[in-house]
Amino acid sequence: MVKIEVPYITQSIKYPTGCESVSTVMLLQYLGYDITVDEFIAEYLEQKAFEERDGQLYGPSPYESFCGSPYDEASFGCYAPVICHALEKVIGETYQVINETGTSMTDLLKKYIDHKMPVIFWACINMRAPITGPEWKLFHTGETFTWISNEHCMLLIGYDEEGYYFNDPYDNNGVIRYEKKLVEDRHAAQHGMAVGIRQKER
């Protein structure tokens, strides 16, 4: 069994849709950075609000910015490129930030967890089934974007023969273990998104 000890932060008090920011700050604090979730959101996270135009809901792409506000329970979230961009602003001089979307679990464990480096990891809230929708039109293109509901971001911190361990910011879950097959299914439902970091060679 491998399990990395990482400072735990819950999203339940202030950040109802802030799982990506909270998971990222847990990683930053593990690395020794003196940063709060509020500072990360205010200074580094791209965010865009929704607008109604002619009875249609328009919003940002979660690949480009957080959709709404992490402080608002009616908001949504963001995808790996947004977290990569934010992280680069914080630690880019010292660490390489890698979008590991589509990387196999085996490779994530070998590249990061086995080297005591947690991974920012997308799956579903409490490993619930993903739900397709809602939809909105994207600001720049007018294309319809479909959100996969129950989206959730955690920090992957370990594994054993049959399960994975996470620092899960949702509902004060703390360190939680889920069965491997379930995690892999829910991870795939959220586009297999993950973000890893590596120390730059000097």
Please state the domain count of the chain: 1
Round to whole Å and give the CA distance between 111 and 114.
Answer: 7
Is residue 78 in a domain? Answer: no
Provide the CATH number for the domain around residue 175. Answer: 3.90.70.10
Round to whole Å and give the CA distance between 61 and 79.
Answer: 9
Ordered DSSP codes for 141-162: T--EEEEEETEEEEEEEEE-SS
* pLDDT (tens digit per residue) in 151-174: 999 999 999 999 999 999 999 999
Is residue 75 in a domain? Answer: no
pTM (two decimals): 0.97
* pLDDT (tens digit per residue) in 5-21: 999 999 999 999 999 99
Neighbours of 70 (CB within 10 A): 26
Is residue 64 in a domain? Answer: no
Is residue 63 in a domain? Answer: no
Is residue 12 in a domain? Answer: yes
Beta pairing, strands 66-67 & 47-48? parallel
Q: Please give the residue range of the domain that contains residue 39.
A: 2-45+84-130+152-199
